[in-house]
Amino acid sequence: MQMTSKCLDTNSKIPFYFSVDFEDFYYDTNRRLGNPNPSFKLAALKKSYEIINRYSDQFFAGRRITFFVTAVLARKAPDLIQKIFNDGHEIACHYNFHDNVDNETAETFSDNLDIAIETLHSITGERPVGFRAPNFAISADNTFAYEELAKRFKYDSSYKTSEHESQILKNGEFLFGDNSLKEFYIYQMPYAFGKINIRVNVIAPGPTNTRMMLKNTPETMHEEIKASIALKRFGEPSEIANAILFFSSDLSSFVTGQVLRVDGGM
């Protein structure tokens, strides 16, 4: 999972981590809207992987990437997941469905973890050692979630350092009896790069009025998606660009470690 960019001086050996949440947004959105038979956009996912893998070869000397994969996608596209694994990348767990963990009970969370682990194990032959929650949706002191994760995984990448300090996280590790879980912080970069006056922020766009989205989303779904958005419309590319301009300008000179959701209140 550790990668070094070809664009950097290799003698300095500056490490960083490159991971991908590998899920089908089209399927997940349909399911969240109540569609009983949501479909997948597998061709788009395969093309996305090819682009990511090519990018890794070009800029990262083919170093290993961690793909956090939802089990529902793995069951639908086992050949794709197997290819990613065979190409040398890590397959980690992104839960069974793309559901918020904080909305689950301890029992349903445990059951869905076991289903997801077995799904990925049946494809790659290896049990995943890492986990990331969908939407990073585990609150800082959700004891049952981190305890269940500690029973099954070596590391987690769900905890947000920008939230209040967890009472159950000690020195970068969750400890529950004989079980421990290393935590790779989601927003660690602002603290590391702040020392050299570099700000780190994230844009999280919602459904946007682009040719790609309109092409890949049936027209019959447009009104359903808009109904799930507080402002009842799609965003415009210029609105996403304006958020980027804000983070790039001096107007945000005292802003770092933030995720700006430009999604109309989705």
- Pairwise CA distance, residues 80 & 74, whole Å: 8
Q: Beta strand pairing status for 2-3 and 16-17?
A: antiparallel
Which tens digits make up the pLDDT trace of 130-173?
A: 999 998 778 877 889 989 999 999 998 887 654 455 566 666 77
169 and 212, same structural domain?
A: no
- Listed as ranges, residues in the chain with pLDDT below 70 are 1-17, 160-171, 185-196
214 and 170, same structural domain?
A: no
CA angle 184, 130, 115 (to 5 degrees): 140
238 and 139, same structural domain?
A: no
Q: Beta strand pairing status for 259-262 and 202-205?
A: parallel
154 and 28, same structural domain?
A: yes
Structural domain harbouring 70: 2-186
17 and 51, same structural domain?
A: yes
CA angle 89, 85, 148 (to 5 degrees): 85
63 and 169, same structural domain?
A: yes
Non-local (6+) Cβ contacts of 30 within 8 A are 38, 39, 221
Give residue 105's pLDDT. 94
Give residue 12's pLDDT. 47
Q: Note the pTM of the prediction, 2 decimals.
A: 0.74
181 and 56, same structural domain?
A: yes
131 and 36, same structural domain?
A: yes
Which tens digits make up the pLDDT trace of 113-141?
A: 999 999 999 999 999 999 999 987 788 77
- How many domains does one find in the chain? 2
Domain boundary among 186, 221, 250: 186
221 and 115, same structural domain?
A: no
The CATH number linked to 165 is 3.20.20.370
Domain boundary among 159, 186, 213: 186
133 and 248, same structural domain?
A: no
